[in-house]
Amino acid sequence: MNDIVPNTSQEYINELTAKIAFLEEENHKLNDTVAWMHDLIWDMYKKLHIPSKR
């Protein structure tokens, strides 16, 4: 939200709705990053600690 105080309740609701949408998108990106990191770490762990069958 910006530093300007909204004039009406509807403007305030619109500002908050926009902020919520932004935060939900950021949360989605962060969750995707954590899932990717988790998968990468487990792949690396398996390569280092589980003997391959030859």
The pTM is what?
0.67
Residues 6-44: tens digit of each pLDDT:
579 989 999 999 999 999 999 999 999 999 999 999 999
What does the alpha-carbon distance between residue 35 and residue 48 come to, in Å, rounded to a whole number?
A: 20
Angle at 16 between CA 13 and CA 18, to 5 degrees: 110
**Type of residue numbered 5:** V
What does the alpha-carbon distance between residue 49 and residue 54 come to, in Å, rounded to a whole number?
A: 15
Angle at 19 between CA 15 and CA 21, to 5 degrees: 120
Residues 35-51: tens digit of each pLDDT:
999 999 999 999 999 87
